[in-house]
């Protein structure tokens, strides 16, 4: 969290008369902790409403890591359910990549959270579905010519297993804890690597629950997409929610550009406090524009697994074979 700046000072809350306040630079509001937490909950609720992220008949599965984002998300969806926003039971899906000194502890926390709130959960391990833990994949691949960094394998495998697990839990909507900072960072990454076709394919704000016929993969929704990362951090601490605070060790080991992009973004934020909102908006606008001009190739079905894929064999199957040979 050290890169993120939270401005706490004395002053008067914009909504009540309390005096220790959070200075929210991008709206120029001063909010006391209670009003701030309430505001975060309202924002999540309005994001779900405004973008029609799910309907009462949807069956939601939350991708739960035990970190601050997914804990904040699951907690808020439980509140919504209690307020009878919809009746289907929320379930949680935990992916165990097999990352030493990290995932075991975060999974323990995720399990404890689920047990406390009586949430049904399922754990899927890389070891069982891929044939190897992420640790063993990296040990085997690190010195090979085609080594692609832990995150490359991990992201592709995890995305697929989240989808499989959602269906196995009977879900049709997968809720993930991506926050505004994550989305702004991804947009910048896509620009840097000129991934225009990927930008064109994106539905940044999710597919409306009324327009989701014939989706192969579970519909992925991001109810935290309008909340900057440091505000989630602050929120879970104000609410005293237990979460696993450490970062994955691989994010530091590999010289991944994503980290530099995040640092750049945070520097920009010091000068332009609403820069992440600009990027979210820009992502959406560019995506819509590119959809009109960019020819998106017809999707095939992967010859191995049958999932939609731009190529004959999908990336998941390519990597899976690669790490097992």
Using CB under 5 A, list all residues that contact Zn ion: 13, 15-16, 18, 32, 35, 302, 304-305, 314, 317
> Out of Zn ion, ligand SF4, none, which partner does residue 155 contact, by CB within 5 to 8 A per kind?
ligand SF4
CA distance linking residue 267 with residue 59, whole number of Å: 39
User: In 3D, which of 231, 233, 259 has the Cα closest to residue 244?
Assistant: 233
> Out of ligand SF4, Zn ion, none, which partner does residue 305 contact, by CB within 5 to 8 A per kind?
Zn ion
> Out of ligand SF4, Zn ion, none, which partner does residue 35 contact, by CB within 5 to 8 A per kind?
Zn ion
Is residue 121 a contact partner of residue 94, using CB atoms and an 8 Å limit?
yes
Q: How far is the CB of 309 from ligand SF4 (least distance, A)?
A: 21
CA distance linking residue 218 with residue 172, whole number of Å: 5
Q: How far is the CB of 149 from Zn ion (least distance, A)?
A: 21
Residue 94, interface with ligand SF4 (CB under 6 A)? Answer: no
User: In 3D, which of 253, 252, 250, 247 has the Cα closest to residue 105?
Assistant: 247
Angle among Cα 173, 74, 128 to the nearest 5 degrees reads 65
Q: Which is nearer to ligand SF4, 216 or 247 (CB)?
A: 247
Map tokens 């049958």 to a residue.
Answer: 306
Binding mask 246-285 for ligand SF4 (x = CB under 6 A): --x-xx----------------------------------
CA distance linking residue 110 with residue 243, whole number of Å: 8
End-to-end CA distance of the chain: 38
Q: How far is the CB of 251 from ligand SF4 (least distance, A)?
A: 4
User: In 3D, which of 322, 321, 325, 320 has the Cα closest to residue 126?
Assistant: 320
The distance between the two most distant Cα atoms of the chain, rounded to a whole number of Å, is 64
Is residue 175 a contact partner of residue 226, using CB atoms and an 8 Å limit?
no
> Out of Zn ion, ligand SF4, none, which partner does residue 88 contact, by CB within 5 to 8 A per kind?
none
CA distance linking residue 61 with residue 167, whole number of Å: 9
Residue 191, interface with ligand SF4 (CB under 6 A)? Answer: no
Q: Which is nearer to Zn ion, 36 or 250 (CB)?
A: 36
> Out of ligand SF4, Zn ion, none, which partner does residue 123 contact, by CB within 5 to 8 A per kind?
none
The interface region with ligand SF4, picked from 150-158, 169-177, 205-213, 275-283 by CB under 6 A, is 150-158
Q: Please count the residues of the chain.
A: 325
The beta strand positions in the chain, using DSSP E, are 8-10, 20-24, 29-31, 60-63, 91-96, 120-125, 173-175, 219-221, 300-301, 308-309
> Out of ligand SF4, Zn ion, none, which partner does residue 154 contact, by CB within 5 to 8 A per kind?
ligand SF4
Residue in 15, 123, 151, 318 binding ligand SF4, rule: CB under 6 A: 151
Q: Which is nearer to ligand SF4, 151 or 241 (CB)?
A: 151
Q: How far is the CB of 245 from ligand SF4 (least distance, A)?
A: 15
Residue in 35, 40, 90, 154 binding ligand SF4, rule: CB under 6 A: 154
> Out of ligand SF4, Zn ion, none, which partner does residue 250 contact, by CB within 5 to 8 A per kind?
ligand SF4
Q: How far is the CB of 110 from ligand SF4 (least distance, A)?
A: 14
Q: Which is nearer to ligand SF4, 51 or 319 (CB)?
A: 319
User: In 3D, which of 273, 252, 73 has the Cα closest to residue 173?
Assistant: 73
Cα distances from 59 to residues 124, 166, 167, 178, in angstroms, run: 19, 9, 10, 19
Residues between 44 and 73 that touch ligand SF4 (CB under 6 A): none
Interface residues with ligand SF4 (CB under 6 A) are 97, 150-151, 154-155, 248, 250-251
């Amino acid at each position: 969290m050290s890169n993120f700046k939270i401005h706490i000072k004395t002053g008067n809350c914009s909504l009540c008369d309390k005096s220790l306040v959070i200075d929210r630079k991008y709206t120029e509001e001063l909010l006391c902790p209670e009003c701030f937490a309430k505001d975060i909950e309202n924002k999540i609720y309005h994001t779900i409403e405004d973008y029609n992220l799910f309907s009462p008949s949807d069956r939601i599965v939350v991708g739960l890591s035990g970190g601050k984002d997914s804990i904040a998300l699951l907690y808020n969806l439980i509140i919504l359910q209690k307020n009878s926003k919809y009746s289907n039971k929320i379930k949680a899906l935990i992916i165990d990549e097999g990352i030493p000194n990290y995932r075991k502890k975060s999974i323990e926390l995720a399990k404890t959270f689920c047990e406390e709130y009586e949430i049904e959960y399922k754990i899927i391990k890389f070891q069982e579905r891929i044939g190897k833990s992420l640790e063993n994949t990296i040990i085997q691949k690190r010195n090979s010519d085609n080594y692609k960094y832990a995150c490359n394998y991990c992201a592709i495998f995890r995305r697929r297993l989240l989808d499989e697990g959602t269906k196995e839990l009977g879900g049709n909507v997968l809720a993930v804890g991506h926050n505004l900072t994550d989305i702004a960072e991804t947009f910048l990454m896509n620009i840097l690597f000129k991934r225009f076709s990927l930008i064109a394919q994106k539905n940044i704000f999710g597919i409306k629950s009324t327009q989701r016929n014939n989706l192969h993969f579970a519909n992925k929704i991001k109810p935290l997409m309008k909340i900057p990362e440091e505000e989630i951090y602050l929120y879970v601490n104000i609410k005293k929610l237990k979460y696993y605070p450490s970062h994955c060790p691989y994010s530091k080991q590999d010289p991944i550009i994503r980290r530099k992009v995040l640092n750049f973004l945070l520097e920009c934020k010091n000068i332009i406090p609403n820069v992440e909102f600009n990027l979210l908006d820009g992502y959406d606008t560019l995506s819509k524009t590119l959809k009109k001009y960019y020819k998106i190739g017809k999707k095939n079905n992967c010859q191995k697994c049958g999932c939609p894929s731009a190529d004959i064999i999908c990336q998941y199957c390519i990597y899976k074979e690669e790490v097992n040979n």
